[in-house]
Structure 1
Amino acid sequence: MKVVISGFYGLGNTGDEAILESIVDNLRSEVPNIDITVFSLSPEQTAREHNVKTVYRAWRRENKEKIKALRNADVLISGGGGLLQDTYPTKFLFGPLPYYLIISMLAKVCGARVMFFSQGIGPVTSTWGKFLMRRFANKADFITVRDQYSKDYLENLKVTRPETVVTADIVFAFQKKHDDACMQSLNLTGGEKLLAVSVRPWFEHNDYEDKLASALDELIEKDDVTPVFVPMEGHHDVDASKRVLAKMENAEACHLLAGDFTPNQYLNFIGACDVTVGLRLHSLIFSALTGVPHIGISYDKKVESLLKRSGMWEYSFRLEELDRDKLVQHTRDVLMNRDALSEKVAENAAVMRKDALENIELLKKHFM
């Protein structure tokens, strides 16, 4: 079976790279003689890291190679992740939404079938984006989405022709390998109460940085926690972490991981922490996967959906409703009840892992 995988790959986003690693590893585990080509912005790096064929993903070069790969493919896997959205400006044929839909239509023209795979849908708010979804997303052969919200969103966009099944984010099927490179990079004694912190740039509500900085200061002073910032998207999150640290009085008690560790290395580190406070979706997924209780700061429905499924929504916040004092108290409550919460999170993650593996089973059922 020959597949092409199209997604936000080769751009240094830990969540998306974890998605790719999960897809590739599970395809190899479950599909005999699988032949994989990935469209990547860093094709040489992606080929080296995953032992796959690669083609440069953007339009500025290797377009003949894209067509050749799609002509040879049995199926295009579009996803996973939040590909079909127009949060970033969509102008005619530019932006993420047109790109992924055009790749899907090109696959159909080339004779390949198309599966939207473990996707989180939306937001799609522009008139042009809604038109593109109605016109082109309905041409997919099969769709799996990572939450009920995404399935409902597709129906609201009038994408009803392909069968759509709710599964879970494919990263819940991540095949973890032991690697403690992150931990080894830090000057720790081994007895710290570790608080993983994941932040990201979000300029519409950048006051969250002040609230988070103040909350961390109190937790350091009164609860003896050791915050470690985990940058999930390279220098973007490193810079956001440094802004929070600059607003703290006890920044010297914190640590900041480098922004170039692998998804598996970040996963191993988060799994060794006592609690996570995070904005990035996949920092929370990594926490759930390893049974680490987590407090999410939700900037998007996809984050809220995950937190409800993991069982940690009651301790979490919508970004615009973040309360500094409640964040401190919730963190204390989580630490006090860590064992029970860890057990609950692990049980919920096991269900989502089963649902995530269903993405692979459905691909086999519909395309082999």
Structure 2
Amino acid sequence: MRAVLCGYYGYGNGGDEALLATLLQFLPKHISPVVLSGNPAQTQALHGVATCDRNNLLAVFNLLRSSQVFIWGGGSLIQDSTSALSPWYYCGLMLTARLLGLKTIAWAQGIGPLHRAQTQWIAKQAFKSCTAISVRDPGSMAWVDRWHCKAIAAPDPVWALDTVSTPEREALPTTRIAVVLRSHPLLTPDRLDNIARALEILHEQTRASIVLVPFQHSQDLAIAQTLHAQLTEISHIVQLTDPRQLKGVFQGADMAIAMRLHGLIMAAAEGCRCFGISYDPKVQRLIEEINCPGWDLANFPEDVSAMAREWIQLYRSTPTLSQEKCQTLTQQARQHQQVLETLS
């Protein structure tokens, strides 16, 4: 049975690649996946799957005609904050697949924000046409309830992603703090400088090395390089593209400071003390769910000493997410596999 997998794949975003890796991990063995990708060669090399250029609409249509299943593969695909056109692309493919008679699954979806009435309308049509649906947060569940759709709600599937160790991780200092930052208009040069100075104080008090982890090189690498230039003697940049290896970086880390949603999820899943920096409602929801300290980027502190004190206090404390709670979230995340089992 051939399944077309559609998501924000092939753009070098570690979080979206982690969702794809988890989806492939969960797929029933009799399913033969073909991934729609912005960079088919890269996706094929990274995940070992057949691919199709997502921008070649004729090739995508022909692929759908010769397939039996269409899967929206997780993440914040259906939202109109960053792009008004993106939801129309995804919903258009979903409705086309349904018209062609494919089984259609909306998998581990994070729905919203949906500001425009037109986006809400097309999203409603697409979700109501689905064979099965799973969502990853209460806000998304509220949308499908409003549209009178049945869905499974479970934590983000990346909680259950398999972890792989690498020589890069083995070479890292034993005592370390992972830092995952991304570009954002509110992460100004002054704020980034304050973060670097606070990290220096954190290192002086804990002797922990700073491991800078860019999740999307096009957005995150320049920030990691800026911090590394200020913290040359105490920091390392780890560049990995395999999401299972990326998750492995957090294995054994003492603490993580993360902006990116999946950086925070991976760190928490590996038992790190976590500190979140929220730039988006989905990150704030996760901070509240795992009960970790954090700051909103819109109200970022200016006192470097106070920033460092808060991080030092967390470093010396017991992790707020218990091992039992972590195991529960991981087990619950496996519920996203149930919608895929309907393909049997």
In the superposition, the TM-score normalised over structure 2's length comes to: 0.91
Aligned to 1:361: 338
More helix by share: 1
Work out the CA distance in 2 between the residues paired with 1:240 and 1:107.
40
1:19 match: secondary structure: helix
Work out the CA distance in 2 between the residues paired with 1:183 and 1:355.
30
> Residues 158-307 of structure 1: matches in 2 within 5 Å?
158=146, 160-184=147-171, 190-191=173-174, 193-206=175-188, 208-245=191-228, 248=230, 250-258=231-239, 260-307=240-287
Work out the CA distance in 1 between the residues paired with 2:97 and 2:148.
18
Change (3 A) 1:244 1:130: farther
The answer to which structure, 1 or 2, has the higher relative contact order (CA under 8 A, 6+ apart) is 2
8 Å CA contact 2:228–2:237 kept in 1: the answer is no
Aligned to 2:134: 144
- 2:49 pairs with 1:69: no
Work out the CA distance in 1 between the residues paired with 2:163 and 2:205.
35
C-alpha root-mean-square deviation of aligned residues, in Å? 2.2
- 2:72 pairs with 1:78: yes
Work out the CA distance in 2 between the residues paired with 1:350 and 1:2.
33
8 Å CA contact 2:186–2:298 kept in 1: the answer is no
> Residues 114-153 of structure 1: matches in 2 within 5 Å?
114-153=104-143
TM-aligned CA deviation for residue 279 of structure 1: 0.3
8 Å CA contact 1:274–1:292 kept in 2: the answer is yes
Identity %: 26
2:335 match: secondary structure: helix
8 Å CA contact 1:145–1:167 kept in 2: the answer is yes
8 Å CA contact 1:6–1:78 kept in 2: the answer is yes
Per-residue CA distance 1:19-70 (angstroms, 9 max, x = gap): 111111221xxx2322111111121232233232211111xx2x33322322
TM-aligned CA deviation for residue 244 of structure 1: 3.9
| Counterpart amino acid of residue 84 in structure 1 | I
Q: Which runs of 5+ in 2 are unaligned?
A: none
| Counterpart amino acid of residue 113 in structure 2 | P
Count of matched residue positions in the alignment of Structure 1 and Structure 2: 341
Q: Which runs of 5+ in 1 are unaligned?
A: none
2:246 match: secondary structure: helix
8 Å CA contact 1:14–1:232 kept in 2: the answer is yes
Work out the CA distance in 2 between the residues paired with 1:89 and 1:268.
32
